[in-house]
A and B are shown apart, each in its own frame.
Chain A
């Protein structure tokens, strides 16, 4: 079965650079969530989209922005990267209209040096 696809899997950036993370949800899933997970931490909710509109917002820095496109894929844009942004970034998607059963991708490991 198709799963949530995230790219890239690994990314190394320097401080003050910009990064773009991509997420391709499971087909017919209309809700996308983004999470940040530091070492030994629980996933922290960043932002979510339902039917291409932002549905909820968590602890996402102003330096970050995200959007969901017409094909339901989503991108997380991160600017002015800081060392503390180094983390695993996960995307999850939920089926049409239910908001349930969020399935996660394998994540993007971002390292800021």
Chain B
């Protein structure tokens, strides 16, 4: 079925280092992708999105890369901070009214 999978369940990085969180998606028809950050007991928080007609998009300290050839998505966080510690999910969508499908989250742990 439709699924979005993440390669690593937990990523541990040192404060100040860059983090890269990966995601593999299976539906080649998906045309929109979002990265979410979820802290314990809270709702997923929108970080950054990218449409399928792009291969890179930058935000503040974050960059999303999309490789449609291998159906791979990544989130890069520059100068990782303790406040970045959370579970990160990628999600994919097809069309304006399509459902948003989440992949398995990656827990990011930032060591001071």
Q: Footprint of B on A, CB under 8 Å?
A: 4, 31, 33, 35, 42-45, 48, 50, 55-56, 58, 88, 90, 92, 97-107, 109
From known contacts A103-B46, A104-B45, infer whether A45 and B97 are also in contact, taking CB-CB under 8 Å.
Answer: no
Contacts of A100 in B (CB 8 A): 32, 49, 93, 96
A30 to B20, CA, bound (A): 33
Seed contacts A31-B97, A45-B100, A105-B43; 16 additional CB < 8 Å A-B pairs: A33-B99, A35-B102, A42-B102, A44-B102, A48-B97, A55-B97, A90-B44, A92-B43, A99-B32, A99-B93, A99-B97, A99-B98, A100-B93, A102-B46, A102-B91, A103-B46
B89 within 8 Å of A (CB atoms)? yes
A102 to B46, CA, bound (A): 7
A50 to B44, CA, bound (A): 21
A107 to B44, CA, bound (A): 9
Q: Which 8 A-B pairs have the closest CB atoms?
A: A99-B96, A104-B43, A55-B97, A42-B102, A56-B99, A50-B97, A104-B44, A45-B99
B100 A42 Cβ-Cβ under 8 A: no
Contacts of A97 in B (CB 8 A): 96
Q: For window 51-107 of chain B, which residues contact chain A by CB distance below 8 Å?
A: 89, 91, 93, 95-105
Contacts of B89 in A (CB 8 A): 42-43
A102 to B99, CA, bound (A): 10
Give the size of the chain B interface in residues (CB under 8 angstroms): 24
18 A/B residue pairs, CB under 8 Å, sorted by A: A4-B43, A35-B102, A44-B102, A45-B102, A48-B99, A50-B96, A56-B99, A90-B44, A99-B95, A100-B32, A101-B34, A101-B46, A102-B34, A104-B36, A104-B44, A104-B45, A105-B43, A107-B42
A35 to B43, CA, bound (A): 10
From known contacts A90-B43, A90-B44, infer whether A102 and B100 are also in contact, taking CB-CB under 8 Å.
Answer: yes
